[in-house]
Amino acid sequence: MDARELGARVAALREARGMTGQELGAALGLSRSQVSKIEHGTRRLEVSEVAAIADALEVSLGEILGVEPSSSLALAARVMDAPQADDTLPSRRRMRQLLEAEATLVNATGLREGRPTPSGQDVLTMIGMQGIPSSRAPWQDGETLANLVRQGLGLGRAPIANVADLAEQHFGLDVVAWPTGNAVSGLCAHGQGIAMMLISTAFPRGHQRFTAAHELAHHLLRDPREIVLDSDLYDSSNPMERRANAFAAALLMPADGLTDVIAGRSIDETVLSGLMRHFGVSFSALLYRLASPSVGLLSTQARDAWLEQPVSAVLRIANDPAPEELTKPDESRRIPARLWRAAQAGYQSGRVGIGTLAALADESPERLFARLAANDIRPPAPADDLADL
């Protein structure tokens, strides 16, 4: 590792621990100016000095030198090694990009893992204490979990505006949404200190929201599979998938919320269109939820009859103002907020190169450099090594 890279790691670890250059200098018997030179790579360090800095920052020597094993990189490799069909490669490659970028940011900036909010942590604690009773049906477990989340986060019976934001803010997941094709709806990769999910935006918005809630369930339920790739979102052969589907349905469409909006009306095209818009869900997910045991507002026969109707015809009869919003993919793009903030800050401080940001944005470095510069986001000017002379 050259002096400049080593200095950048020292600076990043110092800042991550809330220590000033003067405080680090005092711990090492150096002046603030000398610490500045170390961090800018203009003063080389002896091995004994590197060890002293590690002690002062309360980190391992390997962390200072950037040789600690990266769980993000290991997980990225396993995402690509998973025995899946070739048409899943776009989703797996995008996940790999994000995991590798996270590993770079951890090394370069001291980025810490995502942390749940106090409310989110309370929910996680309750889930851990309650466990998953083997005697109950999977759909009951999924609904119980959804109720815990809604109650723990104070969501009541209202629709959830943004499932990805909820997962990131309250449960410390990193969520990427990207148009990776329709072979994979979602992918959850989680391990020690890592929790990331990918949502394909090559599907309509309601499908995307259900996928996000489904992948969140895999994480909250502590799915023992390190990498969960959902090609068939509605797979009913796996109890874990049935739990995740029940969770997603109950989280997005609480029973009392559905009852409030329907307000005693008969289920017709207008009611179904209004429910799809109010809760941001797909036609099929809504029908299955209305016919579920805990809601019971549709019989299975009525559900199946509605499922035979093209959703476009249902929305047309309902005079829906913009049916394409409910039926067409939007192919939107979302980069995990925690990673993008750290990458921009590292770029502006000179610790992260444009390549890391380009990997996060899946964009050419040249184009991204110009786009960031247009918004006055630039790397620092080269340091004047003679400034202290």
Q: Which residues share a beta bridge with 177?
A: 199, 334
List CB contacts of 121: < 8 A, sequence separation 6 or more: none
State the pLDDT at residue 214.
96
Q: Chain-centre distance of CA 81, in angstroms?
A: 21
The Cα 289–Cα 293 span in angstroms is 9
For 37-84, the DSSP string reads HHHTTSS---HHHHHHHHHHHT--HHHHHT-S--HHHHHHHHHHHS--
State the pLDDT at residue 42.
87
Sort strands 227-230 and 194-200 into parallel, antiparallel or unpaired: unpaired
The Cα 114–Cα 196 span in angstroms is 10
CB 144 within 8 A of CB 243: no
Domains along the sequence of the chain with CATH: 3-65 (1.10.260.40), 69-252+330-389 (1.10.10.2910), 255-320 (no CATH)
154 Ramachandran zone, left/alpha/beta (phi>0; psi -120 to 50)? left
State the pLDDT at residue 73.
83
What does each of the 389 residues of the chain score in pLDDT, given as a tens digit?
567 788 888 887 887 677 888 999 999 899 999 999 898 888 888 767 887 888 888 776 666 776 555 578 888 888 887 667 788 999 999 999 999 999 999 988 989 888 899 999 999 988 877 765 555 788 888 999 999 999 999 999 999 999 999 999 999 999 999 999 999 999 999 987 889 999 999 999 999 999 999 999 999 988 878 888 998 777 667 788 889 999 999 999 999 999 999 999 999 999 999 999 999 999 999 999 999 999 999 999 999 999 999 999 999 999 999 999 999 999 999 999 999 999 999 999 999 999 999 999 999 999 999 999 999 999 997 655 555 54
List CB contacts of 212: < 8 A, sequence separation 6 or more: 163, 164, 167, 175, 177, 186, 197, 199
Q: What is the Cα gyration radius of the chain?
A: 25
State the pLDDT at residue 66.
65
Order of strands, sheet of 227-230, starting from the edge strand that comes earlier in the sequence: 174-178, 194-200, 186-191, 227-230
State the pLDDT at residue 113.
87
87 Ramachandran zone, left/alpha/beta (phi>0; psi -120 to 50)? alpha
The Cα 113–Cα 106 span in angstroms is 9
Task: Give the chain's length.
Answer: 389
State the pLDDT at residue 389.
47
Does the predicted TM-score (pTM) go above 0.85?
no
State the pLDDT at residue 96.
94
